[in-house]
């Protein structure tokens, strides 16, 4: 058996084995490429409010309002504030439950959207069941927690092999063959089987590089060893230091207006478009926060903070440029994966490539099915002649 036939067998059986998962990843990837633009359009009433001349209410007032609608049993996990005058404030409540094998049995996730001027609750969203969140988790772990994450990781590795073996199989033997590998040469008499074959080969070739980038950035979430290995390489041969854990003085008296004081310090230290303040479960834990741009081209350049949750004292501040090179690339990973790193054009490219990648298993299956039927038909004819 020649090397090309071996590659063909690998391509065939790996493609049949991973096709359904690759299809799901491609379709969900298309949706997630424009997740935030679609959310702004569909959920405009909860994300936006009328800008007012009056001062914004204290964050503690907004947190108290969120607590009233969530109930005491829900643990508030964080608050997101935007600089734009027409944006609502979001209070999140996230609780993870261990032991569930699927997404729907693992904890709860709510988001309360509040008018920052009046304190009015515009929406209590069951974020766990929200459409884009479900699509995201389907993309991340097939809604099957750890088992699904392993399946996604394996399918992504297989997809990388399929792209490489596909290139070997695509490679033309001579100049005459090359003419049919770079462009569609369809005539009125060209049958659908030939069109499908060309779609698989030509679109597969043109999406190869971007498909590899999407797959490799996806592996960062699937496997810790890949994530850490990537950072080790980019750092020049050393691992990114583990994030330092900061502690609060649990014996101190809680400062009045704590969250507003922290927010104002973040605004002074690292002015940006969006701020997040975490809400620790234990009195000894520090408040984690970050400031970030809403723009995809710069959204990865966030500044991280830690504050004492009793006194509001700043315990740490790390600018994006101060992080190791590996950690900087890790921050960029989502924005590379979705194409947002180069703005709208990148997202459009990510959408197109994801759509093509979703179609490759379909067109590949049709090629195999057609050949299989042809072989069986030829076998029956030969038996009849015999």
pLDDT exceeds cutoff 70 at 381: no
pLDDT tens track for 133-146: 999 999 999 999 99
pLDDT tens track for 97-147: 776 788 988 789 999 999 999 999 999 999 999 999 999 999 999 999 999
Among the residue ranges 61-70, 244-253, 303-312, 367-376, the one predicted with the least confidence is 367-376
pTM: 0.92
pLDDT exceeds cutoff 50 at 336: yes
**Radius of gyration over every alpha carbon of the chain, rounded to an integer in angstroms:** 26
pLDDT exceeds cutoff 90 at 91: yes
pLDDT at 383: 44
pLDDT exceeds cutoff 50 at 250: yes
Torsion of CA 331, 333, 339, 344, to 10 degrees: -10
Average pLDDT over residues 339-360: 97
Average pLDDT over residues 265-290: 96
pLDDT at 98: 74
pLDDT exceeds cutoff 90 at 11: yes
Alpha carbon distance 116, 162 (integer Å): 51
Contact between 47 and 39 (Cβ < 8 Å): yes
pLDDT at 295: 78
Alpha carbon distance 321, 208 (integer Å): 32
Read off the pLDDT band of 320 (50, 70, 90).
very high
Average pLDDT over residues 180-203: 89
| Average pLDDT of every residue of the chain | 93
Residue for token pair 């994450």: 149
pLDDT at 384: 55
Q: How is residue 148 written in tokens?
A: 């699904």
Angle between helices 208-222 and 325-337 in degrees, nearest 10? 120
DSSP-assigned beta bridge partners for residue 275: 81, 291
Average pLDDT over residues 46-54: 93
Read off the pLDDT band of 180 (50, 70, 90).
confident
Contacts of 189 (CB under 8 A, 6+ apart): none
Contact between 162 and 212 (Cβ < 8 Å): no
């Amino acid at each position: 058996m020649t090397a090309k036939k071996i590659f063909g067998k690998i391509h065939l059986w790996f493609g049949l084995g991973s096709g359904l998962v690759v299809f799901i990843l491609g379709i969900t990837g298309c949706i997630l490429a424009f997740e935030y633009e679609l959310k702004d359009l569909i959920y405009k009433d909860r994300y936006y409010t009328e800008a007012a001349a009056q001062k914004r209410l204290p964050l503690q007032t907004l947190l108290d309002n969120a607590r009233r609608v969530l109930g005491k049993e829900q643990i508030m996990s964080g608050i997101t504030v935007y600089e734009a005058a027409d944006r609502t404030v979001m209070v999140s409540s996230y609780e993870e439950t261990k032991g569930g094998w699927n997404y729907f049995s693992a904890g709860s996730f709510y988001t309360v959207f509040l008018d920052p001027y009046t304190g009015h609750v515009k929406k209590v969203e069951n974020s766990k069941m929200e459409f884009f969140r479900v699509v995201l988790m389907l993309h991340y772990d097939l809604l099957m927690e750890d088992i699904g994450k392993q399946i996604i990781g394996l399918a992504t590795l297989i997809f990388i092999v399929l792209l490489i073996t596909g290139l070997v199989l695509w490679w033309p033997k001579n100049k005459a063959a090359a003419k049919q590998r770079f462009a569609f040469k369809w005539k009125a008499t060209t049958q659908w089987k030939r069109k499908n074959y060309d779609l698989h080969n030509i679109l597969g070739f043109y999406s190869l590089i971007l498909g590899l980038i999407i797959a490799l950035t996806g592996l960062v979430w699937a496997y810790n060893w890949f994530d850490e290995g990537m950072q080790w390489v980019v750092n020049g041969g050393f691992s990114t230091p583990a994030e330092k854990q900061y502690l609060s003085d649990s014996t101190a008296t809680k400062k009045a207006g704590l969250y507003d004081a922290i927010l104002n310090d973040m605004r002074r230290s690292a002015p940006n478009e969006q701020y997040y303040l975490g809400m620790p479960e234990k009195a000894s834990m520090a408040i984690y926060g970050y400031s970030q741009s809403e723009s995809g081209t710069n959204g990865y350049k966030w500044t991280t903070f830690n504050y004492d949750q009793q006194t509001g004292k700043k315990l740490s501040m790390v600018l994006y440029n101060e992080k190791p090179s590996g950690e900087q690339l890790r921050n960029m990973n989502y924005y590379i994966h979705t194409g947002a790193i180069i703005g709208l054009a990148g997202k459009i490219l990510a959408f197109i490539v994801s759509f093509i990648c979703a179609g490759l298993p379909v067109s590949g299956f049709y090629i195999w099915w057609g050949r299989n039927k042809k072989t069986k038909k030829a076998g029956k004819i030969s038996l009849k002649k015999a």
